[in-house]
């Protein structure tokens, strides 16, 4: 299957969007964000749109490391946007997963052929944003793995052949 050869493994998205980034890069973004906040006289305090829990801009930054500190501050300050705390966000993600599950219930691991549902995939690859998870899940040509172990094993064998 040539498509699979060209497709980036899910682990690639972990490296690209996952939490385990270079600590120096993270601290650099935090420091830049602190400087920008200090230069912002009308810095907004935010509450969860659903439960009213106080939100922290540094948590928001750590969940969105693909964006610059300046863009994070811009989003935070924009009154058109409302944000969720982690608990409410997870509850909303569950609702979205149910919608995806209705479209396609089960797929099979490309390596071991074990059945996988979208909830298991979401748990195993929790770093994926819901839009990327949906894109991968609903595209039958996208390789799906039941675990990172199976994914690594599959690509290691493929590389050696």
Per residue of the chain (161 residues), what is the pLDDT tens digit? Answer: 333 334 444 444 444 444 445 678 889 999 999 999 999 999 999 999 989 999 999 988 988 888 999 999 999 999 999 998 888 887 778 888 999 999 999 999 999 999 999 988 888 877 677 888 899 999 999 999 998 888 888 988 777 76
Residue 34 lies in a domain: yes
Q: Which of 35, 54, 77 is the last residue of a domain?
A: 77
* 160 Cβ neighbours under 8 A, 6+ residues apart: none
Please state, in angstroms and rounded to a whole number, the distance separating the CA atoms of residues 57 and 72.
8
Tokens linked to 119: 């909830």
pLDDT at 13: 43
Alpha-carbon Rg for the chain, nearest whole angstrom, is: 19
Q: What domain count does the chain have?
A: 2
pLDDT at 22: 61
pLDDT at 70: 96
Q: Which of 9, 129, 133, 137 is nearest to 63 (CA)?
A: 129
Domain that holds residue 53: 19-77
Q: Which of 77, 98, 114 is the last residue of a domain?
A: 77
Would strands 115-117 and 106-108 be described as parallel, antiparallel, or unpaired?
antiparallel
Please state, in angstroms and rounded to a whole number, the distance separating the CA atoms of residues 96 and 29.
30
Residue 6 lies in a domain: no
């Amino acid at each position: 299957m040539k498509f699979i050869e060209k497709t980036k493994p899910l682990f690639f998205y972990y490296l690209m969007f996952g939490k385990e980034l270079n600590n120096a890069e993270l601290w650099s973004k935090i420091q830049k964000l602190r400087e920008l906040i200090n230069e912002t006289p009308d810095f907004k305090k935010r509450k969860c749109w659903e439960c009213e829990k106080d939100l922290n801009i540094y948590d928001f930054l750590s969940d969105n490391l693909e964006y610059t500190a300046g863009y994070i501050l811009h989003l935070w300050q924009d009154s058109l946007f409302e944000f969720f705390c982690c608990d409410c966000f997870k509850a909303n993600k569950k609702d979205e997963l149910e919608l995806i599950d209705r479209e396609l219930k089960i797929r099979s691991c490309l390596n071991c052929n074990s059945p996988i549902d979208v909830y298991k995939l979401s748990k195993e690859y929790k770093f994926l944003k819901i839009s990327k998870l949906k894109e991968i899940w609903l595209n039958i040509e996208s390789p799906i793995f039941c675990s990172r172990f199976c994914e690594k094993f599959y690509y290691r064998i493929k590389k050696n052949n």
